């Protein structure tokens, strides 16, 4: 499958088809993490995110996770499994922390910067 079709498929999987908004539950499923992890990453309580995973109030916060995930999948040529492995493996460029730890801590900025640098092929 061409890379652009894979990217479109991944992106579409992250949006609620009825509202057209990013959906925290769909992002969690794609990343292979519980909704509670996504809720924590965006500074929200899990029950509220589970109840309305595509709420308009979540959209701004979900965009960072969206950008990170879509970029990772793109870097791995559409291979979601390898993108998930990347998230869970300790990384020497991130002080030997696994990228998922930044998500769990709600500290997305270093992860987003690192993924952007990888995408731009910049040294880290």
| Number of structural domains found in the chain | 1
- Give the global pTM: 0.89
List pLDDT tens digits, range 97-120.
Answer: 999 999 999 999 999 999 999 988
Residue 95 belongs to some domain of the structure: yes
11 torsion bin: left (phi>0), alpha (psi -120 to 50), beta (else):
alpha
β-pair partners for 22: 15
Q: Is the pLDDT of residue 1 over 60?
A: no
Where helices occur in 1-124 by DSSP H, the ranges are: 3-13, 24-31, 35-41, 46-51, 59-75, 80-88, 99-105, 108-119
Q: Is residue 124 part of a domain?
A: no
Report whether pLDDT(4) > 80.
Answer: no
Query: Per-residue pLDDT for 2 more than 70?
Result: no
The Cβ of residue 92 has, within 10 Å, a number of other Cβ atoms equal to 8
Report yes or no on 88 lying in a domain: yes
Q: Helix 59-75 and helix 24-31: axis angle, to 10°? A: 30
Q: Which domain holds residue 48?
A: 3-119
In tens, the pLDDT along 14-58 reads 999 999 999 999 999 999 999 999 999 999 999 999 999 999 999
* Residue 31 within any structural domain of the chain: yes
């Amino acid at each position: 499958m061409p890379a652009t079709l894979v990217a479109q498929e991944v992106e579409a999987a992250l949006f609620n088809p009825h509202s057209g908004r990013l959906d925290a539950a769909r992002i969690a499923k794609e990343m292979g993490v519980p909704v509670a992890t996504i809720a924590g990453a965006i500074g929200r309580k899990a029950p509220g995110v589970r109840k309305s995973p595509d709420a308009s109030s979540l959209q701004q916060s979900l965009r960072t996770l969206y950008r990170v995930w879509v970029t990772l999948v793109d870097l791995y040529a559409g291979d979601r499994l390898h993108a998930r492995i990347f998230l869970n493996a300790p990384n020497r460029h991130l002080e030997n922390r696994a990228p998922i730890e930044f998500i769990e801590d709600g500290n997305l900025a270093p992860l987003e910067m690192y993924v952007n640098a990888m995408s731009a092929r910049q040294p880290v």
